């Protein structure tokens, strides 16, 4: 089981997400019920809002999410001082096993502490002690820590498995029974009892799923008890039999889903390709016009930027989903719903325990009666549910082109708008990004500039946080950079630069700045991204100090929103060959054959380290150690003159790994014992 507690919007209060395996959904929802009642009874100004329960059949997971709402909202800066937050934490801790998980997706780093204790006096939750003795719950309904722990283990396994399959998230069947939430007025969307959301997969021609749609529930797991309000926990044998009956059916459905999904993927790829080509053409045109405007020029040929990285796209297709509203499902209370439907693909889950439980939560909100009758508590909701005219969906218009196919930001190509175009081009240059991959143990490669950190986030799909820096060498310098470790290889540090400095740079910072700006301009001009290209184009820069790039893999991505060049300073023999546009330069000396361990001193070596350490440098026209400027200019000259030398320089960089050097970018080498939270199951 996984618990998530986080805060995104202050006004909305902390959010709670509880994941559990479906096999434990009974215990799961019972505990939720307890939790809910506990909270709602604790304080008149505290309530749970936005309650939702979702069952993911493919992964056999049940999810409950809600917000802990408090009026007036508490406004802390530090979460640990927010009584609402800390109380929620301890409460969750009590009701569920102490398995917490950081909210990876949201903003900032949301850490959860395990041993957090809340002073009962300051807790916002002060439930009546009689709550547990209310007879509402049998003893079997009490939280079962042992079961939760086992569940947590299962979930971990499952999660790992999912992760390994490339983050592919396929929600085959997702049931959602909200709608009967406290808001009684906005019942419209909650109307359609059985909401099929799989039409975007072309699977189901949703034809106003009728309320009484009798659908084959593939998973009626151990839920009917609650639904039938008999509440006889124990006879799950018959359920198992039923489940087995439907396994075959389910398999067929899945096969078909797979097939359709594959087709969709093909179409998607094709579309992406077309899109990329279009984008490349557009970029080329922009660059042409720009060049025509300002007479400066470098060699340029048509680009083939149609190389979008779309391997990541493979998986996130949702195969099929079903959303079912809780209210009417429970309301339906039919017996016919368990039979196979007209088309066997549809499944219904009205028998799920979540329905009854969540509804019970709602019900006791309005009338505090504790009976288990299925009488709808809320007359308004009942009326809405009965309203027959609601189950048709007023969806987005049909025939709408694929989003992104006609990006709204595409400039019009009127010749009369050259100025506009130029401005747009400038904007794009500012938006262009150059990312550098280098192996580094330090938390940041020192590139000679002064940076101030202004943010840190957990990026999705990467356990390592991403840090945001801004150049502080001059006030108002627009240059920013992001630093993040690669998810694949933690030893690789990915630094992404954006913008150009508006101030003179120290020689130590020249290398990186020139390289990145050259790469960016080249990317935007549409010329062929190659190491030679960067080197040659460096001649147009005020100072042609460039980082050695010849052995690097320079990849280019024109995919929106940011065009990005990637300079790969790592030597990785088994890199995927499909994503690189050009082969490494043939002039690479064998020196590069050995692995590069640390390139965190990319410009330290320009300024301070003895480049003469390396024999190759000595044998080239490198002078003995010099003042910084001289060394740099010499290096510059050499680099621009001789690609071999650049390669040697790279080797030199690698050879000084162990040397400490003064770090002029700040002392942020501390291992940061207070790391932004890891996912701790």
Partner DNA sequence: CGAGTTTGACCCGCGC
Partner DNA sequence: GCGCGGGTCAAACTCG
479 binds, among Zn ion, DNA, none (CB under 5 to 8 A by kind): Zn ion
238 binds DNA (CB under 7 A): no
**Measured between alpha carbons, how far is 245 from 242 in angstroms, rounded to an integer?**
5
**Measured between alpha carbons, how far is 186 from 189 in angstroms, rounded to an integer?**
7
* Number of chain residues interacting with DNA (CB under 7 A): 48
Q: Please, what's the largest Cα pairwise distance for the chain? A: 91
473 binds Zn ion (CB under 5 A): yes
Q: Considering the complex, state which of residue 106 and residue 182 has its C-beta at the smaller distance from DNA.
A: 106
674 binds, among Zn ion, DNA, none (CB under 5 to 8 A by kind): DNA
How is residue 623 annotated by DSSP?
A: P
Q: Which stretch binds DNA (CB under 7 A): 341-349, 359-367, 518-526, 664-672?
A: 664-672
Residue whose C-alpha is closest to residue 203's, from 261, 251, 162 = 261
Distances in whole angstroms, Cα of residue 41 to Cα of each of 119, 366, 572: 19, 13, 59
| Site map (CB under 7 A) of DNA, residues 533-572, x = contact | ----------------------------xx----------
CA pseudo-torsion sign 619, 623, 626, 631: negative
Could you tell me the end-to-end alpha-carbon distance of the chain, in angstroms, rounded to an integer?
8
110 binds DNA (CB under 7 A): yes
Half-sphere exposure of 525 (CA within 13 A, CB side): 22
Residue tagged 């609650």 (tokens): 226
Residue whose C-alpha is closest to residue 16's, from 38, 387, 618, 131 = 38
Q: Considering the complex, state which of residue 480 and residue 661 has its C-beta at the smaller distance from DNA.
A: 480
CA pseudo-torsion sign 184, 187, 191, 193: negative
Q: Which stretch binds Zn ion (CB under 5 A): 14-22, 232-240, 471-479, 671-679?
A: 471-479
153 binds, among DNA, Zn ion, none (CB under 5 to 8 A by kind): none
| Site map (CB under 7 A) of DNA, residues 43-82, x = contact | -------x-------------------------xxxx-xx
Q: Considering the complex, state which of residue 272 and residue 636 has its C-beta at the smaller distance from DNA.
A: 272
- Residues pairing with 557 in the sheet: 564
648 binds Zn ion (CB under 5 A): no
Q: Which stretch binds Zn ion (CB under 5 A): 17-25, 92-100, 325-333, 497-505?
A: 497-505
| Site map (CB under 7 A) of DNA, residues 481-510, x = contact | -x----------------------------
Helix (H, G, I), strand (E, B) or coil at 677: coil
**Measured between alpha carbons, how far is 482 from 499 in angstroms, rounded to an integer?**
12
Residue whose C-alpha is closest to residue 178's, from 161, 164, 193, 157 = 193
501 binds, among Zn ion, DNA, none (CB under 5 to 8 A by kind): Zn ion
460 binds DNA (CB under 7 A): yes
114 binds, among Zn ion, DNA, none (CB under 5 to 8 A by kind): none
Read off the tokens for 29: 């929802």
Q: Considering the complex, state which of residue 17 and residue 450 has its C-beta at the smaller distance from Zn ion.
A: 450
Which letter, b or e, does each residue of 483-517 get, where b requires 16 or more Cβ atoms within 10 Å of its Cβ? Answer: bbbeeeeeebbbbbbbbbbeeebbbbbbbbbbbbb
Least separation in angstroms between CB 325 and DNA: 15
Positions touching Zn ion (CB under 5 A) are 471, 473, 477, 479, 501
Positions touching DNA (CB under 7 A) are 7-11, 50, 76-79, 81-82, 105-111, 197, 200, 403-404, 409, 450-457, 459-461, 466, 468, 470, 472, 480, 482, 561-562, 666, 668, 672, 674, 676
């Amino acid at each position: 089981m996984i618990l998530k507690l986080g805060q995104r919007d202050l006004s909305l209060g902390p959010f709670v997400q509880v994941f559990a395996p479906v096999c434990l959904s009974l215990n799961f929802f019972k505990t939720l019920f307890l939790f809910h009642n506990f909270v709602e009874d604790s304080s008149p100004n505290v309530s749970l809002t936005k309650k939702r329960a979702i069952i993911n059949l493919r992964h056999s997971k049940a999810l409950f999410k809600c917000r802990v709402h408090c009026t007036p909202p508490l406004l802390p800066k530090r979460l640990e001082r927010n009584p609402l937050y800390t109380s929620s934490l301890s409460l969750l801790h009590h009701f569920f096993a102490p398995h917490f998980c950081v909210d990876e997706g949201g903003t900032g780093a949301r850490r959860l502490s395990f041993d957090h204790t809340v002073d009962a006096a300051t807790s916002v939750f002060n439930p009546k002690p009689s709550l547990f003795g209310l007879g509402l719950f049998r003893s079997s309904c009490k939280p079962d820590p042992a079961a939760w722990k086992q569940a947590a283990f299962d979930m971990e396994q499952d999660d790992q498995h999912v992760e390994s399959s490339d983050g592919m998230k396929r929600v085959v069947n997702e049931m959602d029974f909200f709608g009967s939430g406290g808001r009684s007025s906005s019942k419209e969307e909650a109307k359609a009892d059985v909401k099929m959301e799989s039409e975007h997969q072309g699977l189901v021609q949703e034809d106003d799923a009728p309320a009484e749609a009798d659908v084959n529930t593939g998973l009626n797991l151990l839920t009917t008890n609650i639904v039938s309000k008999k509440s006889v926990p124990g006879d799950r044998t018959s359920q198992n039999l039923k489940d087995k009956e439907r396994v075959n059916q389910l398999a067929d459905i899945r096969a078909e889903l797979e097939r359709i999904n594959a087709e969709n993927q093909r179409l998607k790829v094709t579309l992406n390709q077309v899109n990329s080509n279009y984008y490349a053409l557009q970029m080329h045109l922009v660059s042409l016009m720009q060049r025509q405007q300002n007479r400066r020029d470098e060699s340029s040929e048509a680009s083939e930027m149609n190389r979008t990285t779309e391997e990541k796209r493979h998986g996130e297709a949702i195969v099929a989903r079903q959303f079912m509203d809780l209210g009417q499902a429970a309301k339906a209370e039919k017996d016919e719903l368990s039979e196979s439907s007209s088309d066997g693909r549809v499944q219904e889950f009205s028998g799920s325990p979540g329905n009854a439980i969540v509804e019970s939560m709602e019900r006791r909100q309005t009338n505090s009666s504790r009976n288990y009758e299925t009488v709808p508590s809320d007359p308004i909701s009942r009326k809405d549910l009965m309203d027959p005219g609601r189950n048709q969906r007023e969806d987005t218009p049909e025939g709408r082109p694929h989003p992104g196919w006609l990006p709204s930001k595409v400039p019009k190509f009127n010749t009369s708008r050259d100025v506009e175009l130029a401005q747009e081009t400038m904007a794009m240059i500012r938006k262009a990004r150059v990312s550098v991959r280098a192996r580094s143990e330090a938390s940041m490669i020192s590139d000679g500039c002064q940076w101030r950190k202004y943010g840190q986030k957990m990026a999705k799909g990467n356990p390592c946080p991403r840090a945001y820096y801004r150049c502080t060498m001059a006030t108002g310098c627009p240059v920013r950079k992001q630093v993040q470790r690669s998810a694949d290889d933690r030893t690789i540090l990915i630094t992404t630069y954006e913008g150009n400095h508006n101030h003179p740079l120290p020689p130590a910072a020249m290398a990186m700045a020139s390289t990145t700006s050259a790469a960016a301009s080249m990317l935007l001009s549409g010329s062929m991204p190659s190491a030679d290209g960067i080197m040659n184009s460096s001649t147009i820069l005020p100072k042609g100090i460039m980082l050695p790039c010849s052995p690097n893999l320079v990849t280019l991505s024109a995919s929106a929103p940011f065009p990005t060049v990637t300079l790969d300073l790592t030597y990785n023999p088994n890199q995927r060959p499909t994503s690189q546009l050009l082969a490494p330069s043939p002039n690479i000396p064998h020196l590069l054959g050995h692995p590069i361990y640390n390139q965190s001193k990319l410009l330290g070596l320009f300024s301070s380290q003895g480049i003469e350490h390396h024999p190759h440098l000595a044998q080239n026209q490198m002078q003995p150690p010099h003042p910084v400027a001289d060394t740099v200019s010499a290096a510059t000259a050499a680099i621009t003159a001789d690609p071999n030398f650049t390669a040697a320089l790279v080797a030199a960089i690698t050879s000084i790994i162990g040397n400490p050097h003064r770090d002029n970018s700040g002392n942020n080498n501390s291992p940061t014992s207070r790391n932004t939270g890891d996912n701790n199951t």
